[in-house]
Amino acid sequence: MNPLISVIVPIYNVEKYLARCVDSIVNQTYKNLEIILVDDGSPDRCPQMCDDYAEKDSRIKVVHKKNGGLSDARNAGMAVATGEYISFIDSDDWIDLETYDLVLEKMLATNSQIGAFNLKSVSNSNFKTEYNENYIVIDSQKAIENTIDNVNVRTVVWNKLYHRSVLENLSFRVGKLNEDEFFTFYALSNAQHIVYLFRQLYFYYQRPNSIMGTYSLKRLDMLDGVKERMEFVEKKYPEIYTKAKLSFCQCCIYQYQMLLRNKDVDLQLIGRKKVKKYRTSLKLSNHEIKNCRLIDKLSLVISNNSIGFELICRVRNVFNFGL
């Protein structure tokens, strides 16, 4: 019998998009699914919509809970999931109807514990997908290197199918924004093989009022996640530590530029102090930046001290570089 796949969908205030998402899961060509709809205290019609879906399809479980955020909702779904494989789908996105058939087939054929797949960012209905049937199999180090480079496997959790063994003892950090930054590299490190499908199977909907649409101090959670990944890589995958270190330093520069553009007092006083301390406590050598572009070399060298860091971020903002 085909293994059971648990699909976890955290839901909050997405009444307009929920049907498109759930329909893309319910109508999968792969039928042995456990579909877990987690109503995270949604204030709209989503709770009733979830219950209506459950009445129509016995594969659907609904979890109603007090609002706790995306991480808390995903954790609630994981707590009741019984499938051998687990997938996370965000409720304003949707997937190709063949997603689980195609990904699981490749996972089983390549003895992979994680199957990742290509995504398509969309803002309206006028888009075309690429039917690239190629795939690659990589190890955990290469997969984490992909997340650093933001290619293929990537940091996001929702373009993947996981064997539940790689998620043991893992949970999402409650209260964190960019929660995937604290989760994905641990899951990837638990896998011997990761297969990546180049076919675009996940459709990421970019809506203007999403949680990532505004800048706040919570956006610095991403920096904490990238820092944690860097420290993890230093211990377990030293061959790619320099790349992880550069990624963290560049992330510091980007976040500081964003802080400079925001006039909020707390962002200025608290955020800038934190980011500057992070960046200037980590020195970069000429050897470490030798393969960077010239403009990045200059930015990274100058930002090695507090005064230079402030200066280069202000200059980059003047020329809108890196934003």
Work out the pLDDT band at 264, boundaries 50, 70, 90: confident
Average pLDDT over residues 254-266: 83
Does residue 211 carry a pLDDT above 80?
A: no
Q: How far is CA 218 from CA 69, 209, 224, 274, in A?
A: 13, 16, 10, 12
Work out the pLDDT band at 8, boundaries 50, 70, 90: very high
Work out the pLDDT band at 261, boundaries 50, 70, 90: confident
Does residue 136 carry a pLDDT above 50?
A: yes
Residue 216's pLDDT is 79
Work out the pLDDT band at 262, boundaries 50, 70, 90: confident
Share the mean pLDDT of the chain: 94
Phi then psi dihedrals of residue 115, to 5 deg:
-115, 120
Residue 126 or 305, more confident: 305
Query: Among residues 64, 27, 26, 61, which one has the least CA distance to residue 46?
Result: 64
Residue 140 or 321, more confident: 140
Work out the pLDDT band at 124, boundaries 50, 70, 90: confident
Round to whole Å and give the CA distance between 30 and 3: 10
Give the right CATH number for 5-205 from 3.40.50.1100, 2.40.37.10, 3.40.710.10, 3.90.550.10.
3.90.550.10
**The tokens of 305 are what?**
């001290």
121 touches 94 (CB < 8 A): no
Residue 212's pLDDT is 45
Residue 15 or 125, more confident: 15
Domain boundaries, the chain: 5-205, 217-318
Does residue 253 carry a pLDDT above 50?
A: yes
Round to whole Å and give the CA distance between 252 and 220: 9
Residue 267's pLDDT is 63
**pLDDT tens digits, residue range 57-75?**
999 999 999 999 999 999 9
